[in-house]
């Protein structure tokens, strides 16, 4: 049986992904998760705390999927190319939803450091992921920026075209 907290988080994953953070209210989450208001507040003091849980859950899921997708690849170029193929796969699975972290970032006030810190942590982990693969700070940062821009552009244009172009650039970046 799924616990009330798990139902709240699962409902939040769906609603924040489809409606966005600002357009999703706590009452809608409570209703769609079929939990009592008291149960919601037992687990989450605020919508902001729920958002932190959403982002942390998404972070774990996303990196597990990325690691699984790239696990069989050997060599820096092969592993980086697989990471970009992972974006294409995620676009297929999630219908070009884009980056949950950047989507939330665009909706929060600039002084919301609680949520901002979680987003920065995710992006730092991604940047470090590429640094571990490509042991050259300049090249790995270039790859990271290509990766990030590929996510945004593929969401904006609902196309994998620029992901494929980024992969061509990478063939020249990594020996």
The domain that holds 155 is classified in CATH as 1.10.357.10
Same domain for 79 and 36: no
Same domain for 124 and 86: yes
What pLDDT does 123 receive?
A: 98
Query: What residues contact 92, with CB distance under 8 A and at least 6 apart?
Result: none
Domain that holds residue 34: 1-44
CATH code, domain with 17 = 1.10.10.60
Same domain for 86 and 68: yes
Same domain for 81 and 135: yes
What pLDDT does 6 receive?
A: 96
What pLDDT does 91 receive?
A: 98
Same domain for 123 and 101: yes
Same domain for 62 and 89: yes
CA 133/CA 127 separation, integer angstroms: 10
pTM: 0.94
Intervals of the chain under pLDDT 50: none
Same domain for 89 and 31: no
What pLDDT does 175 receive?
A: 83
- Please write the tens of the pLDDT for every residue from 110-152: 999 999 999 999 999 999 999 999 999 999 999 999 999 999 9
The dihedral over CA atoms of 82, 86, 88, 92, expressed in degrees to the nearest 10, equals 150
Q: Give the number of domains in the chain.
A: 2
Same domain for 69 and 110: yes
CA 116/CA 75 separation, integer angstroms: 33
| Angle, CA 19 vertex, CA 13 and CA 20 arms, to 5° | 75
What pLDDT does 116 receive?
A: 98
Same domain for 165 and 119: yes
Same domain for 152 and 111: yes
What pLDDT does 119 receive?
A: 98
């Amino acid at each position: 049986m799924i616990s009330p907290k798990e139902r709240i988080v699962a409902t939040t994953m769906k609603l924040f992904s489809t409606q966005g953070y600002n357009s999703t209210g706590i009452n809608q989450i409570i209703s769609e998760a079929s939990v009592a208001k008291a149960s919601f507040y037992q687990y989450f003091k605020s919508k902001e705390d729920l958002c932190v849980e959403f982002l942390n859950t998404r972070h774990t899921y996303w990196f597990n999927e990325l690691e699984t997708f790239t696990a069989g690849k050997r060599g820096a170029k092969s592993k980086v190319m697989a990471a970009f193929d992972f974006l294409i796969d995620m676009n297929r699975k999630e219908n070009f939803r884009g980056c949950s972290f950047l989507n939330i970032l665009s909706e929060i006030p600039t002084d919301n450091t609680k949520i901002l810190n979680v987003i920065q942590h995710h992006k730092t982990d991604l940047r470090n992921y590429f640094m571990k693969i490509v042991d050259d700070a300049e090249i790995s940062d270039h790859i990271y920026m290509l990766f990030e821009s590929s996510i945004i552009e593929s969401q904006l244009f609902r196309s994998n075209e620029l992901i494929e172009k980024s992969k061509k650039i990478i063939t020249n970046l990594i020996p």
